[in-house]
Structure 1
Amino acid sequence: MVEGDYVLVVDQGTTGTRAALVTSDGSIMSYAYREHTQIYPKPAWVEHNPLEIWEKTKLVIKEVIEYAGVNPRRIAAIGVTNQRETTVVWDPRNGQPVYNAIVWQDRRTSQLVDYLKRNYTDMIQERTGLIPDAYFSGTKLWWLLDNVPGLRDKAQKGEVVFGTIDTWVIWNLTKGSKDVLTPERGGAHVTDYSNASRTMMFNIHKLEWDSELLEIEGKIPEGILPLPRPSSDKRIYGYTGPEVSQILSGISVPVCGDAGDQQAALFGQAGFDAGEVKSTYGTGNFILMNIGEKSVKSKTNLLTTIYYSLEEGKAMYALEGSIFITGAAVQWLRDGLKIIEVSDEVEPLASAASDTGGVYFVPAFVGLGAPYWDQYARGLIIGITRGTERKHIARAVLESIAYLTRDVLEAMMTDTGIRIPRIKVDGGAAKDNFLMQFQADITGIEVWRPSVFESTSLGVGYLAGLAVGLWRSIDDVRQNWKLDRVFKPKMNPDTRERLYKGWKAAVQRALGWAKEVPWAYELS
């Protein structure tokens, strides 16, 4: 019988780290959050300090327990969810990273990706479900091996290890514990299938690292890669080590749930039937469709990815459209243009405009993701006249989020032949009623918003809880999902298509811009 009635979740995201306590009825009892530093060494380069991330992780774990006033003995399990493709290499003997974490948004490996696209696009898509892009971890690791002095030699000797952020956090959670799946690494050096599927080095059909891909992506030694495991693992990745157990009043808790943030969000939205779709509105926008037990090769430049796994050697699959910059564009309005002081001001400002006055905004700050996959696209604002005001710019920024989402949904319906009945939404911007109504209007599809917004934390909480028996099956999870509000389309179909045609024209002007004017950008 499971001991404890809470799951502790670590949700390590692009801008900060959240800890949450998930209850057995599928609610969030308490959470704590801390931002970490964004590091921009060069244009289009983005880094994080892994040690800062770990320090903030320990801090939010301590704070969430204090805020809730819960005895740590009531924590049945720990789950980890994360920004997926961000890459860390460290020395497992002392826990010291060899370099900053290279963030998923980073574009420094664009030239390596060009080489892969010219020579191996079909092979990579067939085996990994991915389209070659600097977004994924493989070329980031390749760059580190080639550019950090002495690192390749250390990797060949097995003196360093690689991981995405989930692996880094789980290793630190279990560091020093004797009860882990990989005791020789000083902690649990593991990842789950969903995170492994985002590296561009993992065969999503065989559920194992692909030796040929490792060779062509910079001769990466397989020995530095983490052990791939199910997202909900009854074998347990490991138990918390002394550093974390001290925060938990001396007890040791099993770490047994792991999923990439977007997969965790679909799981938290109870997206268990083929055709179910969720859209998460965060730093970027990520739309996933459950496609079941068999993978589908996209014909429209979407990604095929592993959704989740409850059993070793088996997985569920999803189609994904990854949009790099959405909520980050609102931050740009605040921090870059300074036309708002706080992010919450954008909704009333945008709502003050009856339309954009013909203005379109394409947020291609780091290229465009699905379904365009143009790493040389750059952002633009077009349609400006003397009558353009800041409210029109704000509205155009919010509308761009909905337009990009429609681009992906159209591609999903083309690939699967399924007419999407509803979009389940989550993430910070899902609280924006203006944006959610425009999303329904521009797609002609109902938008369903749940009562619990933190679907990512909830999803990985369920995965960890299933591993220890806190929930018996996904049917228990399904019954916990609760609806807050439905946004129904109100826009005239002719208006919808006219506005969308204007959006597609604006995107065409943004595509390939940095390649046309390479002197304007330092891409290498």
Structure 2
Amino acid sequence: MGKYIIGIDQSTQGTKALLFDEQGTLLTRADKSHRQIINDKGWVEHDPEEFYANVIQTVRETVEKAGISKEDIVGVGISNQRETALAWDSDGCPIYNAVVWQCARGQKICEKIADKKEMIQERTGLQLSPYFSAAKIAWILEHVEGAREKAQEGKLCYGTVDSFLIYRLTKGEVYKTDYSNASRTQLFNIRTLSWDSEICDIFGIPIQNLAEVEDSNGDFGMTDFEGYLPYKVPIHGVLGDSHGALFGQGCLEKGMTKATYGTGSSVMMNVGEKPVFSKHGVVSSLAWGMDGKVTYVLEGNINYTGAVITWLCQDLKLIQSPKETEEIARAASEEDSTYLVPAFTGLGAPYWESNAKALLCGMTRTTGKAEVVRAALECIAYQITDIIKAMEDDSHISIQALRVDGGPTKNQYLMKFQSDIAEKPVQVPAAEELSGIGAAYAAGIGLGVYEKQKLFSRMERQSFLPEMSKEFVEKKYQGWKEAIYMVLGRKNEEIKSS
């Protein structure tokens, strides 16, 4: 008989269920995508009932694929898309679609309270932005019929995807979130480690309806996955997807940094047990709370990284598959100076301009498909480099290596260019799905199935080292900054001082 841990990763594009053995080895996985509901205003939503059903289905599929006894499953860890917000009633029924992290519909709400932005950032570590959950929850309460009344009567739950999944998986017995997810709502005071009543009032969000905050490796109740398992097992690890990747990458020491390449990207630096508040456009959050102690991070978020490749494929139809981009990029002219700034829904860190528009610039008559595809790949690395530089300025820590994960890390052109333009070694683990791995590992450690040191010492990595000349790096990066200046309508000096 073995002891198996299930990891669930409910992400922006779909849901994955992962099965791990007693050594923390990934045995099987099952994936199922869900709809991206986008209207003519560019608002982005998901159907919570759809992705919850996918959780149950993928768990069934991965267990059956492994051929193990269901009686040997001992615990569950959950990682989830962050900042995405939703509201549901006491029966667990959503009153509206989930408002996805990419969606900027809360912009007007943020503009109305702009005079409070410094106080909000001082307490939450986050720049006032519709990117975070608070403005999305406020929008639901303001625009969904009956939502405000239910909230005032204490008959409504609202928060992030993890708390919804926990609520449904435990049949409403547990209404909790973890420190990592709470810290991304813009309602949580990372100094006092509690929901901030004044900020909740500013957003018009009744504080009493928010979830209880629990350690990331704490007890989140029991589930049998809608009767699939013969008995209930504990949910004992919950982390926002980027935090899960940080933990799964083994970035447990101060200064260790990772970048997750997904639909968007999160770059995260472990800064230890005391918060560092940014002056260079990144934000302060909690990495996790474990065993009664919290760890802080600096983080920068990018709206469009992997989604840029989707745009090339589905909208421009320049490519048939993301796999083609590596070969096409290598065929591009070295002399071409095309840049893409993918501000399709504004710019995130370190610029924070929700109204910015995308820009393709620097083209010449000889610019063709290959050059545009290469510019789309390279803009991912430029955006991540912007954040790395901001983090080093804020923390006064020199990043020794960048640990990376996510689908686009399979693209060797992108990884090599990332190393060159950031002037850092880039390390790609052999294991995939670091977000789900991190949550499962947290659960397994919390349940005593895994020993932390053994887990992380086994991870193999491929390294990419910087080789581009410093002169050429500076030339390429300066071209990127000039493209950013055009998008923002600001001068070089203004951006450097902001």
TM class by shorter chain equals over 0.9
Q: Give the CA deviation at 1:475.
A: 2.3
State the Cα deviation string for residues 64-118 of structure 1 (Å, max 9, x = none): 111111212221210110001111101122x2111110000001111111233x3
Contact 1:245 1:252 in 2 (8 A): no
Q: Give the CA deviation at 1:477.
A: 3.1
- Count residues with an aligned counterpart: 490
Q: Give the CA deviation at 1:358.
A: 0.8
**1:223 aligned partner:** 208
CA distance in 2 between partners of 1:137 and 1:465 (Å) = 29
**1:517 aligned partner:** none
**2:384 aligned partner:** 405
Kindly provide the amino acid, as one letter, of the partner of residue 121 in structure 1.
K
CA distance in 1 between partners of 2:474 and 2:109 (Å) = 38
Matches within 5 A, 1:481-500: 481-483=459-461, 485-500=462-477
Identity of paired residues, percent? 41
**1:352 aligned partner:** 331
State the Cα deviation string for residues 177-209 of structure 1 (Å, max 9, x = none): xxxxxxxxx231110000000000001122111
Q: Give the CA deviation at 1:130.
A: 0.3
CA distance in 2 between partners of 1:428 and 1:231 (Å) = 25
**2:163 aligned partner:** 167
**1:213 aligned partner:** 199
State the Cα deviation string for residues 200-253 of structure 1 (Å, max 9, x = none): 0001122111000000012x11121111000001xx211115xx15212x2211
Q: Give the CA deviation at 1:419.
A: 1.2
Tell me if 1:447 matches 2:458.
no
CA distance in 1 between partners of 2:455 and 2:398 (Å) = 25
3-state DSSP class of the match of 1:270? coil
**1:239 aligned partner:** 222
Contact 1:356 1:396 in 2 (8 A): no
Choose from 262, 274, 290 the match for 1:310: 290
**1:103 aligned partner:** 100
**2:247 aligned partner:** 267
Contact 1:377 1:512 in 2 (8 A): no
Kindly provide the amino acid, as one letter, of the partner of residue 250 in structure 2.
A
Unmatched segments (≥5 aa) in structure 2: 491-498
**1:54 aligned partner:** 52
CA distance in 2 between partners of 1:137 and 1:33 (Å) = 26
Kindly provide the amino acid, as one letter, of the partner of residue 19 in structure 1.
A
Matches within 5 A, 1:271-420: 271-312=251-292, 314-355=293-334, 357-420=336-399
3-state DSSP class of the match of 1:131? coil
Kindly provide the amino acid, as one letter, of the partner of residue 174 in structure 2.
A
Q: Give the CA deviation at 1:57.
A: 1.0
Choose from 130, 134, 143 the match for 2:139: 143
Contact 1:79 1:460 in 2 (8 A): yes
CA distance in 2 between partners of 1:200 and 1:125 (Å) = 8
**1:469 aligned partner:** 448
Contact 1:356 1:395 in 2 (8 A): no
Give the direction of change, closer, same or farther, for the CA distance of 1:329–1:363 in structure 2 (3 Å limit).
Answer: same
CA distance in 2 between partners of 1:36 and 1:4 (Å) = 32
What is the TM-score of this pair, normalised by structure 2?
A: 0.96
Unmatched segments (≥5 aa) in structure 1: 176-185, 514-524
Contact 2:23 2:450 in 1 (8 A): no
Q: Give the CA deviation at 1:480.
A: 3.0
Give the direction of change, closer, same or farther, for the CA distance of 1:47–1:356 in structure 2 (3 Å limit).
Answer: farther
3-state DSSP class of the match of 1:393? helix
Superposed CA RMSD in Å reads 1.4
What is the TM-score of this pair, normalised by structure 1?
A: 0.91
Kindly provide the amino acid, as one letter, of the partner of residue 70 in structure 1.
I
Between 384-393 and 424-433, report the one with greater CA deviation: 384-393
CA distance in 1 between partners of 2:30 and 2:232 (Å) = 21
Choose from 417, 435, 446 the match for 1:456: 435
CA distance in 1 between partners of 2:169 and 2:436 (Å) = 17
